[in-house]
Amino acid sequence: MIFLTEKILGGILQGKRLDMKVFSFFQLFMVFLFSCGCEKDEFIVKKQTDDKGVVIATPFIWKTSLHQKEPMSNSIIKNQIIYNDNIVVPRTNGYKSRSISLISSKDGKVLWDWKGQFEGDSEYYDIPFHYQFENFLTYHYGASYCINLDNGNTQWRHIRDRSFIPKITGSGQFYFSFGDITNTYGYDERIAFKGDIQTGNISEFLTANFFYECLDCVRGVSFINQVSNKDNLLLISFMENLEDWVVKPYFGLYDNYLKEWVWDRVLITPPKYSNIIDFPPVIENDRIYAVVDNCLVCYDLNFGKEIWVSKFSGNFLFSGFILEDGKVIANNEDTNMYALDAETGRQLWSVPTAGTSSRMSYLNGVVYMVGGSGGGRLFAIEAATGKILWRIDAGLLGEGHGARFRTNAVYVLPAKGDQPAKVIALSDLYAYCFEAVR
- pLDDT tens for residues 53-73? 999 999 999 999 999 888 888
Query: Residue 357 pLDDT more than 90?
Result: yes
Query: Measuring CA to CA, which residue among 382, 400, 392 is closest to residue 59?
Result: 392
CB 197 within 8 A of CB 169: no
Radius of gyration of the chain (CA): 26
Query: Residue 14 pLDDT more than 50?
Result: no
Query: Residue 201 pLDDT more than 70?
Result: yes
pLDDT of residue 301: 97
Helix (H) or strand (E) holding 168: strand 164-171
Residue 66 backbone dihedrals phi, psi, to 5 degrees = -95, 5
Mean pLDDT (the chain) is 90
Query: Residue 393 pLDDT more than 90?
Result: yes
Amino acid at 157: R
pLDDT of residue 180: 96
Confidence category of residue 121, pLDDT binned at 50, 70, 90: low
Residues 6+ apart with CB under 8 A from 6: none
Report domain extents, the chain. 1-39
pLDDT of residue 167: 96
Query: Residue 272 pLDDT more than 80?
Result: yes
Q: Which residue would you say has higher pLDDT here, 72 or 131?
A: 131
Query: Residue 265 pLDDT more than 70?
Result: yes
Confidence category of residue 259, pLDDT binned at 50, 70, 90: very high
**pTM of the model as a whole:** 0.89
Query: Residue 15 pLDDT more than 80?
Result: no
Query: Residue 28 pLDDT more than 60?
Result: no
Confidence category of residue 38, pLDDT binned at 50, 70, 90: very low
Query: Residue 196 pLDDT more than 70?
Result: yes
The Cα–Cα gap between 127 and 77 comes to 5
Rounded to the nearest 5 degrees, what angle is found at the Cα of 72, between the Cα atoms of 69 and 75?
115
pLDDT of residue 5: 38
pLDDT of residue 112: 97
- pLDDT tens for residues 203-244? 999 999 999 999 999 999 999 999 987 779 999 999 999 998
Mean pLDDT across 163-185? 95
Mean pLDDT across 150-172? 96
pLDDT of residue 94: 76
Give the sheet arrangement for strand 153-158, strand by strand.
131-133, 136-141, 143-148, 153-158
The Cα–Cα gap between 31 and 280 comes to 58
